[in-house]
Amino acid sequence: MEPWKAGDAGGLRKPLGWACRPNSHPFPARFINHIAFFLKPRYNCSMSLPHILAWLDASNEAQLLDSNSEAVRKANVHSFHYLLMLVSAVLAVITVVGILLDYGRVYVFYYLSTFILSFVLYRIFRMKSQRVRRFSIPLIYFTLLIFYSLGIFVSLYKPYGEHHPAVTFTCLLIVLPMLYLDRSLRVGIFEFLVFAVHTVLAFMFKERAVAVLDLLDTSVFMIFGVFLSGYFRYIRLENFEKDKILIKQRDTDVLTGLANRRVLFSRLEKLLKQKDTVINVIMLDIDFFKHYNDSYGHQAGDACLESLGRVLHDFGEKHGFTFCRYGGEEFTAVSSGIDNVQMTSLVEELRSDVRHLAIPFEKGINGYVSISVGYATKSTILNLSMEEYIKFADEALYEAKNLGRDRAIEAL
């Protein structure tokens, strides 16, 4: 088979019947929506045997975590941002009440310290920066350590001269694992270590009967919390994966595998917001493509477009361009920070890559499929609109066609 011939074009999977749209509702509507996350039937929480076996497969979970790492980081930061805001407010109230009712210096000191740490962590998670996302897991475990320390303190503290069962700590064991996304093995180990520390301290400082009761309660709820959180964690990761597929379907041209106009405009819009940046736009067209379709048929035309799409994708990956199918046989690319001399060299390299496809075309220039290219290199200082950048490149493309095709022209 010639190198230009495409394999099975193969479409993407059909759109699913639901989509997790970005949440733009204000608090507390957003908080309510998070609670509904676990309750809506669209998440397919059925306990079927294949589903449970897939959930128990650690490699499957690891793959889902790795392939959706950015979404996982965002979800973790988002959840703990609101959790810490709520906890800080509650701890502030409890601290003030403790001072007014004279609960004791130890009580006030511990709650005040926990409030200060929670508020500092809340401010950190509120930044939602890339650095915070990168270190979100260590920050989350540090936060959990603070909460569990508070739970252990409440369990061991004797405000009225006698110990009581570890109700607060037990609740934390079942609730906290559900609030973040991480590998189940790591979650389980962390929960077990916290449980073990509490158990040892309970037998050291509590009456034996109360300590035994705590051991029974906390062990049952720890196991229940780890397994229940693991199942819901897997459900959330599955939905992140489905979201990713939906986004790819929305933003990808099925035939060529390149992005569509929506991605192009989004990328240009982001670049236009940058100050003193050079924006590079390429418009290219397959020469005499209508004649190619008429001569060889639309299936051959589709194969040609698919082959060209692979070349453009590889070129874009190599040189930092975002290519999209603009319409029919016309393609557009956008990048930034490349000067005129570099652009001229890169465009010629692109034309050379297309020639190396060696797609036979009897009516084409030199007997093969070729492309005409127009490109523009303009600074954002000029305050040009998105449409003007594309217009400059498009006019240069038409000039290349008028001059005989199979060439590249730079917009002045």
Residue 108's pLDDT is: 83
The encoded tokens of residue 16 equal 């699913």
Nearest to 331 by CA among 339, 342, 340, 322: 322
Per residue in 255-293, pLDDT (tens digit) is 888 988 888 888 888 888 888 889 999 999 999 999 999
Residue 201, exposed/middle/buried by CB under 10 A (0-12, 13-18, 19+)? middle
Residue numbers in the chain where pLDDT is lower than 50: 1-28, 31-32, 34-47, 49
Q: Which amino acid is at 37?
A: F
Residue 397's pLDDT is: 93
Nearest to 356 by CA among 311, 297, 301, 291: 311
CA distances from 12 to 148, 251, 300, 322 (A): 46, 11, 20, 20
Q: Are strands 408-410 and 371-379 parallel, antiparallel or unpaired?
A: parallel
pTM, whole model, 2 decimals?
A: 0.68
202, 156 in Cβ contact below 8 A? yes
Spatial distance between the Cα atoms of 78 and 37, rounded to a whole number of angstroms: 14
Q: What contacts 24+ positions apart, CB below 8 Å, involve 224-229?
A: 224/174, 225/173, 225/174, 225/175, 225/176, 225/177, 225/178, 225/191, 226/177, 226/184, 226/187, 226/188, 226/191, 228/174, 228/177, 228/178, 229/177, 229/178, 229/187
Residue 76, exposed/middle/buried by CB under 10 A (0-12, 13-18, 19+)? buried
Residue 55's pLDDT is: 53
Question: Does the structural domain 261-410 have CATH classification 3.40.50.10860?
Answer: no
The per-residue DSSP string of 23-34 comes to --PPTTHHHHHH
Residue 381's pLDDT is: 75
Spatial distance between the Cα atoms of 281 and 388, rounded to a whole number of angstroms: 11
Residue 58's pLDDT is: 62
CA distances from 162 to 157, 158, 165, 205, 207 (A): 9, 5, 10, 11, 9
What is the number of other CB atoms lying within 10 angstroms of the CB of residue 9?
A: 15
Per residue in 101-152, pLDDT (tens digit) is 877 777 788 889 999 999 999 999 988 777 888 888 999 999 999 999 999 9
What are the structural domain ranges in the chain?
29-250, 261-410
Spatial distance between the Cα atoms of 91 and 113, rounded to a whole number of angstroms: 10
Q: Which amino acid is at 31?
A: F
Spatial distance between the Cα atoms of 88 and 397, rounded to a whole number of angstroms: 59
What is the number of other CB atoms lying within 10 angstroms of the CB of residue 124?
A: 20
Spatial distance between the Cα atoms of 397 and 332, rounded to a whole number of angstroms: 11
According to DSSP, the residues that pair with 259 across neighbouring strands are 252, 324
Asked whether the CA dihedral 146, 95, 176, 164 is positive or negative, the reply is positive
254, 12 in Cβ contact below 8 A? yes
